[in-house]
Amino acid sequence: MEEAFKLFTLMAETRNVVSFTALIGGYVQNGNNDKAAILFSEMRKDGFDPNDFTYSTILTAAPMISPYLIHCLLIKTRYECFPSVGTALLDAYTKVGNIQAASMAFEKIEEKDIVAWSAMLGSYAQAGDTEGSIKLFKAMAREGVVPNEFTLSSIINVCAGITAAVDQGRQFHAESIKFRQQDNICVSSALITMYAKKGSIENAYKVFQKQSARDLVSWNSMISGFAQHGYGKSALDIFRDMEARGLEMDEITFIGVIMACTHTGLVEEGKRYFNLMVKNHGICPTMEVYACMVDLYGRAGKLEEAMKLINGMPFEPDAMVWRILLGVCRVHRNVELGEIAAENLIKLEPQDSAAYVLLSNIYAAAGEWEKKGRIRKLMDDRKVKKEAGLSWIQVKNKVHAFIASDTTHSLSDQIYRKLEEIKLKLKEKGYVPDTNFVLHDLEHEHKEALLAQHSEKLAIAFGLISTPDGSPLQIVKNLRVCGDCHTVIKLVSEIEGRNIVVRDSNRFHHFKGGSCSCGDFW
């Protein structure tokens, strides 16, 4: 770039739009967006009007250069109607998070090419707008535009979102087959991720097996998918296959492997892979890797080792690390370490309700009701809002959401009758409610009543009365499933003869015939 700038300075008398644009493009490509902005300003001061190439180039420097400012200049021209400029503008708005402005820029493009459609689809995908993405894809089809690997992988990635239905993902899998793109590595990797995130790990593995070629994303997605679903052995088998083939690995690979060990209680194996990553592959552990190791030790009850690891980290632990430690302190009811973790987490994120709620729950489990009350008062004083527990299930393309003790559903009476029926069958199986998971100082009978009305139990009861006998159920919960609900769902899967998949904030649980894929280790 230094040589290019020297040549440019020698052109004092012969500079034109082309030379300015070329140098601006060079700066942008080399990440010198501030210099690109200065040169763009000088160009206009010297009386040169930017052309479509100039505008599309400078817009790629967003958000360093404000798309709003460039858009003001574009309005005076017709360039925003050009596909190259309009696409660059919508992409710039996407970078600053203004999806509405991106959509308006897209609509201004007169002759939309596949690049413009793909960029707009990517914008919706980044915003997690499932409905907007699907509407746009259908509009593209009506216009007769043939999707390419980028549009298909974008829409499939959108269908991996928590609010999307697995049937929507299958629909676009069919689209990829229709347009003969299912073997494209970009598309097939997106399919693996989508199926894994939507609870269908079997379909994810089928796509993986059929891949004619695989990149690192494919391998990592399959390892992480198996790990999140509790199939640690399968995840490690994939990793060993990578090793046998001598394939390149990265930090994401080892995060997936350590996660697999975490979810199956393989502490020594996890430690071995951590050391392997550093010594054999020369990968420096990042904050996320250390967080996984804290989780590995913590879930196995090795809290002192987790704390020792945190104290020995080469950088200050972030909120993620303290949040994980606090979570495992809640599981193992370690008040002392829980207080340390909560104090550090609150310092970093004073408005994060998780710190207060988890510490409050630790105190409640230990019977320290006075301390629990002080934490709740602190939340009120600081106006920290607790995230409500929410579970939802999709039946006949409609999402039904429930909170604990919910009575707002139109089938509420039938749902509670089903819960009473289940309660009797559970009693016959010898089930005794674990009231330790009710974190309020109440009478025993009241605690049992609250337990029976947890949101995931309501969602399952609704699913049982709303779907054919024997059909699988899939529940999503925004928080971690409690131990009592976990026990109940195992028994319900056996009593009702249903496969039940629950995706909570930590992982997937596959309940079948009275057991869970997590092996009661989560």
Contact 371, 362 (CB under 8 A): no
Alpha carbon 273 to chain centroid distance? Answer: 24
Structure tokens at 14: 């012969």
Q: Is residue 476 part of a domain?
A: yes
Structural domain contains residue 419: yes
Read out DSSP for 396-451? TTEEEEE-TT---STTHHHHHHHHHHHHHHHHHTT----GGG--S---HHHHHHHH
Residue 372 in domain: no
Distance CA 96, CA 127 (A): 11
Comparing CA positions, the residue from 499, 511, 509 lying closest to residue 470 is: 499
In this prediction, residue 446 has a pLDDT band, given cuts at 50, 70 and 90, of low
Q: Does a structural domain hold residue 100?
A: no
Residue 425 domain-assigned? Answer: yes
| CB atoms inside a 10 Å sphere around CB 129 | 18
**129-151 tens-digit pLDDT:** 888 999 999 999 999 999 999 99
3-state secondary structure of 497: coil
Binned at pLDDT 50, 70 and 90, residue 376 comes out as confident
8 Å CB contact between 364 and 439? yes
Confidence bin at 275 (pLDDT 50/70/90): very high
Report strand pairing: 508-512 vs 391-395. unpaired
Express each pLDDT in 31-62 by its tens digit. Answer: 777 777 777 788 888 788 888 988 888 898 87
503 Cβ neighbours under 8 A, 6+ residues apart: 162, 199, 474, 475, 476, 477, 509
500-503/508-512 β-pairing: antiparallel
**Placement of tokens 């950088």 in the chain:** 315
Question: What 8-state DSSP symbol labels residue 81?
Answer: G
Residue 207 CB-density burial (10 A; 0-12 exposed, 13-18 middle, 19+ buried): buried
- Which range of residues forms the domain containing residue 424? 391-516
pLDDT of 30 reads 76
Instruction: Please give the tally of structural domains in the chain.
Output: 1
Average pLDDT, the chain: 89
Q: Is residue 96 part of a domain?
A: no
Q: Is 457 helix (H, G, I), strand (E, B) or coil?
A: helix
Average pLDDT over residues 67-71: 89
pLDDT at position 205 over 90 = yes
In a domain, 93, yes or no: no
Q: Which of 495, 480, 488 is nearest to 516 (CA)?
A: 488
Q: What is the DSSP string of 377-409?
A: HHHHHTTPPPPPP-EEEEETTEEEEE-TT---S
**Domain presence at residue 224:** no
